Structure 1
């Protein structure tokens, strides 16, 4: 009797699990039917045991060094779902699903790769190690708070992407392609439908208490800008084919950047850039760029101020060109008009996957980069639980008092109190030595802890030529 009860309980749990599994597919707007499709793959998804649904495979540009077109699909789901990926051009011998740490192993049957997902993930699926024609898969839980498409929208409205009313506290971008100026107001909530494509950026200038909740796309858009604002939350947008960067945050406070997915191959195409911002939280994102993925700077152009209290977690970074994380190169060299140097402090990066890093210029190499320039003082930085899968060309980390004639008017003031803990680099690729370098006796790197940092399975325990190199202007390095 007891065994029967256990079996009945297991069957009941299985029934609830299957009943809870749902898939939400976002149909493409008709105007992009032929212009945005990539036929490299046929991709379908279904809830476990349900009917297959086709996904629209978007063309996305990758890698400025050699611009090519990869693919991207996106959908929302709850429960457990199956993904079927068919490669349409040529044979293949193996399939990888990255990040490796997810432990997802595809099952190959009749030339189709089947992947089971138990929770939302942001992934790269690669056939025969081809990372330039890969498939990006972006998923999210089904949003319970996303408004339904308004019943009064005609098919013509949907086709043209009828603009919302920005004077309201709730703004809704429905299905369709949207153009125009998207200037947001304080104390508003913006919803972007999964079948909406925005062709211009959001502008948040001098506003407060704004939420953007998105299942939709920004296509070919110059960067979204947040300036002189506070209490801003950006959740869920997908950015593709942007000419330059993805988002720029300037002299703003209390920012939440969550579930942001970005694939860019334009020149100077930084991912999430920050200038003199405080209390910034970034999580659950996937950023692939042809410049730095995440940046934290101070003074540049007409921007002045400090960077403080940054937390980045549960995020995947892929730098086709430049750094995954870059801190400190731009700041204020004191002048009579602006006599104060600037500080970047209390920055934390944890549970990060770096899929690749490629930088051809030795001065700018470093998957994890602190380049203190322009009299910046960078201090109290933590890199923890970071997994680096491959370095095409570059360094695992580079902690450097920097002076480059191209960008700086003086070297940085210092780098202090940096911890690298549980950093695991596979050793794949062609890395050069990680570096810790000061500028002179008055501009040093001080108090660096390397705790359980491994390269190809070997733990760093001391400086070593070709692996980890220091100069004479470094003090207080500890290995644990």
Structure 2
């Protein structure tokens, strides 16, 4: 039910007064023209966020699906269906909904345009079982998770479901800034929102940010909450220490969504990004140490996660990066990519990098130079050492390679070939065989620029355990030593 404009205005005024009484920042009450009713849900175990403000409610909406959610036995609650853009090669409209819950919820999805014969919910390992009644798909969730709902194999016009765990707002106090539901723009014509040391910035569900944070030379900063960034620039953590970004979603970022550069102790948790723009990487790591990426869901038209040494404003080595419990869907390029950029004049090392518990829902890349769900391309005299890919599940490949390990000279980006890849471990890696994957490859560049000590432990491709090089599955080029298979 739509409220009258006067009711919304009165409610906003009351909310603003309450927030000011609590001593929150003025950003907390920078509300736009939106219905605040959805922000005040009484059930803490099922949080439905408000629709966008009136001037955006239609332009952001997708009519392809109607989605509802409820606690078992409770009333059905409507969700707002966002339109998102996917796949730079074949631009297409897809859909997205978001809610938070604890315990168990039931979800109902109605496809609004045409009949369907089958429906699939991925990742498959989550084993979400569906029932169909009267053309509506029903399923139950007993834990927070991110999903893709696909009708008749349509992976372009699909529905993304972000079923999250609630993030409680921080207690009011010094250094606490709250952006409530509604539209927010940076102050005074700036291109980014302010962020300083020793701050906790909370983006409430339903907060729509037309701009981004770019914290520079800060420490002890938290940016948390399930707000959304709309067509924003990249959120870059630059020259900073102890920064947490947890919860936000990036819709159609202009280029990349998130990055850290020359920083330490950076955590990107429960972050989501969807877009089709050129160079729309999900998360970049430039010359950082002690980085933790956990529970990401990234569908973009470039690398899902790319880990480099010296690059742009990041200078130096990259060490101790952990990427875990995430879902990647690169409509273009790599899912997991390491090593291309560095400093030929002052060679860098990338070391101690772990990818664990990752689902790759799809991979598509036509250029052999950039193919690989799991890829290391050591360039710019980089040394890449001690990289682990464990518990990786690749679901579908349109075109590309499962594994691509090479010391390279990329004429477009590099000023010298890479120096060395040493110590790469693949453990419990599986590819279902759906789609058409080209042969994986391992190759050095020259006798003094080799690949060494690569281990395959329980790697299965289309149900076949990898026990050695094999035609159409794994090619081993020159200057490779120390291969082992278990």
Pair in the same fold by TM > 0.5: yes
RMSD between superposed Cα atoms in Å: 1.5
1:341 aligned residue: 347
TM-score by length of 2: 0.89
CA distance in 2, matches of 1:218, 1:274: 20
Listed as ranges, the matches of 1:42-441 within 5 Å are: 42-145=66-169, 169-180=175-186, 181-334=192-345, 340-441=346-447
Tell me if structure 2 keeps the 8 A contact 1:21–1:80. Answer: no
Distance 1:144 1:61 in 2: 30
Q: 1:328-354 CA distances to partner (integer Å, 9 max, x unpaired)?
A: 0001112xxxxx310000001111000
1:21 to partner: Cα distance: 8.5
Q: From 455, 477, 484, give the equivalent of 1:471.
A: 477
Contact 1:21–1:48 at 8 Å: present in 2 too? no
Deviation, structure 1 residue 29:
2.5
Could you say which residue in structure 2 is the equivalent of 1:5?
none
SS across alignment from 2:460? strand
Distance, in Å, in 1 between the alignment partners of 2:351 and 2:44 is 43
Quote how far apart the aligned CAs of 1:285 are.
1.4
Unaligned runs of 5+ in 1: 1-19, 149-166, 335-339
Contact residue 445 and residue 478 of structure 2 kept, 8 A: no
Maintained 8 Å contact 1:64/1:290? yes
Equivalent residue pairs, number: 439
Q: Please, what TM-score do these two structures have when normalized by structure 1?
A: 0.90
Regions of 4+ moved over 2 Å: 142-148, 300-303
Q: Distance in 1 between matches of 2:312 and 2:334?
A: 22
Q: State the partner residue of 2:464.
A: 458
Of 50, 65, 82 in structure 2, the residue corresponding to residue 27 of structure 1 is 50
Q: 1:424 to 1:122 in 2, by over 3 A?
A: same
Q: Which runs of 5+ in 2 are unaligned?
A: 1-42, 187-191
Could you tell me how far apart the structure 2 residues matched to 1:348 and 1:454 are? 20
Secondary structure (helix, strand or coil) at the match of 1:125 reads strand
CA distance in 1, matches of 2:232, 2:174: 24
Q: For 1:405 and 1:272, locate their aligned partners in 2 and report how far apart those are by CA, in whole Å.
A: 24
Q: Is the 8 A contact 1:317 1:353 kept in 2?
A: yes
CA distance in 2, matches of 1:287, 1:264: 9
Contact 1:21 1:47 in 2 (8 A): no
Judging changes above 3 Å, is the alpha-carbon distance between structure 1 residues 329 and 409 closer, same or farther for their aligned structure 2 residues? Answer: same
What's the secondary structure of 1:386's corresponding residue?
strand
The 1:352/1:343 distance shift into structure 2, 3 A limit, reads same
Q: Distance in 2 between matches of 1:91 and 1:444?
A: 54
Q: Is the 8 A contact 1:325 1:367 kept in 2?
A: yes
Distance 1:401 1:465 in 2: 21
Matched residue of 1:363: which SS?
helix
- 1:159 aligns with none
Give, in angstroms, the shift of residue 34 of structure 1: 0.9
